[in-house]
Structure 1
Amino acid sequence: MLPNAARVKSVGEAAEIAAVQGRSLWSDARTRFFKNKAAVVSLIVLILIGAFALFGQFIAQYERDTVDFTLMGANAYQGVPSIETGHYFGTDSSGRDLFARVVQGTGISLMVGMVGAFVAVMVGTLYGAIAGYHGGRVDGIMMRIVDVLMSIPFMFVLILMLVIFGRSIFMLFLGIGLISWLDMARIARGQTLTIKNKEFVEVAHAIGVSPFRIILRHIIPNLLGIVVVYATLLVPSLIIYESFISFLGLGVQEPNTSLGALISEGASNMAYGVMWQLYFPLLFFVLTIFAFFFVGDGLRDALDPKDR
């Protein structure tokens, strides 16, 4: 018979081991993610920025397209940020409320990044999984196509599409999403080469499940970890691309705006002393980019099996 103290200790260790073994992959990843303070703070910042983009229009005292003609030519000293006048972020060079414009710009930049990342992840994951599962000649042909497409300058193709087919938000979504899937395809293909040799895939193949169904039901669900991490790291990259395109004047067109267009306009007016036109959109741009990167790093650490 064990002493009481030893018995209690052994029972406690068994309970702890059972608790550890009872955790699923996602519950374990959630616990590890919330231990990362930088990732949690960044997630809160992203939630606040998303709420600002969704509900900021209800706080704005002016419409984003309303022009205050009394500020034309006097913007530098009458269009300053003020709670009393209702222009919380001041006004732009045309006398429009900058707060309402930043709300719209933040929403469009987030939408471009998230929709573009969704398209890239969907196309890239399916393409890479098909190539990796079939292997052989099919894999060789499909990945050589990816190599050829990756050799073409991404920004040049995007600018060319916007010039030829028109400068619209839809073309911006389509161009960014359909070109940025290439890296995801290579990542998915590499992971699929490992997964397709697992026992559950061989069993599904042995009982006559079709290859496409195996890819959808068994391969892709096991890629969700890497896909989620890559998507969170891809969103800020796409926001940067969109901001650069809008900075060049080829992105979102008036009366709509984005953070890149607002930064471009603010930078061009710095010489006139209206620094707030640059600072406020730049602040939201920097916070959004860093928050996404920290959340992506937190998810990568939480889902990395080698780090457990």
Structure 2
Amino acid sequence: MSQQTTDVTHRMIASPAGRIHLVEQGAGPLVLLVHGFPESWYSWRHQLPALAAAGYRAVAIDVRGYGRSSRPGNTAAYRMLDLVEDNVAVVRALGEETAVVVGHDWGSTIAASSALVRPDVFRAVALLSVPYTPPGGPRPSEVFAEMGGDEEFYVSYFQEPGRAEAEIEPGVRGWLAGFYAAFSADTMPTPGAPDPHFVGRGGTLRDRFPAGRLPGWLGEDDLDVYAGEFERTGLSAALNRYRNMDRDWNDLADFRGSPVTQPSLFLGGALDASTTWLAEAIRAYPTTLPGLVSSHVLDGCGHWIQQERREEVNRILTGWLASLPG
């Protein structure tokens, strides 16, 4: 494990799902870090010491279904409102009334939803890689089914129970290496190559992953950490997040079109499809994120932003935190 993580504290706290595993470093105002797919608390290993050094109590969790946190058997247990309540439970268990919430990938959506649904608890929100889009619009499964023409969008592929597991679980380490490489700036497929966000007819996602080397941000030891957790737990619990998108659409009906009004920050990678495909969402921030303090799209950066560009992300994040009202 990275030298940077040797002085952290690991804890288990009670949540509506059972237990949430968290990793804590530092003291001061609470900053809750929420990871995405397919990762764990470890994706914040570079931010924990930086935030602690800046005077914050940095806490990175294993989201429900990941790592050492509980993994309920019911697919519906991974709906967004349950994950929001997990975040609230973490804040309360740590003896705090409020926190700043920071999320990456699915964690960005979870963080935004936490701020939207529980503004009494989450006083500010930072979103990494995935822009905020208010709840509402067409039913998600219908939108994804229409993408790609003869090919299938990866979200639809993930939504079918057991299908992605059959691809991933026989060779977790190799699959993760390919998935991370496919969306990293220094290893992603060249322009014009088949897009790894889509599955060809009768194929798998793995068919389009680059092979031969790891991205620069990912060492063999780092890959061991990620692979070891998923080899132990399997992938179904993590993939259940994708299988609840229509439930979320229903659950959040009362929030359709609602802005997140707390102070906010956005960080994206210029080479990340989440940034380019959702460029319209970023342009809508004056309406959807009226409390936006700053928005940054990092040139030459892919999807795994807090690992690919750790120092730049740490600088921007700590500067934003310092600007927040006490």
Judge same fold: TM > 0.5, yes or no. no
TM-score (normalised: structure 2)? 0.23
- Structure having the larger proportion of residues in strand: 2
- Mark the structure with the bigger radius of gyration: 1
- Structure having the larger proportion of residues in helix: 1
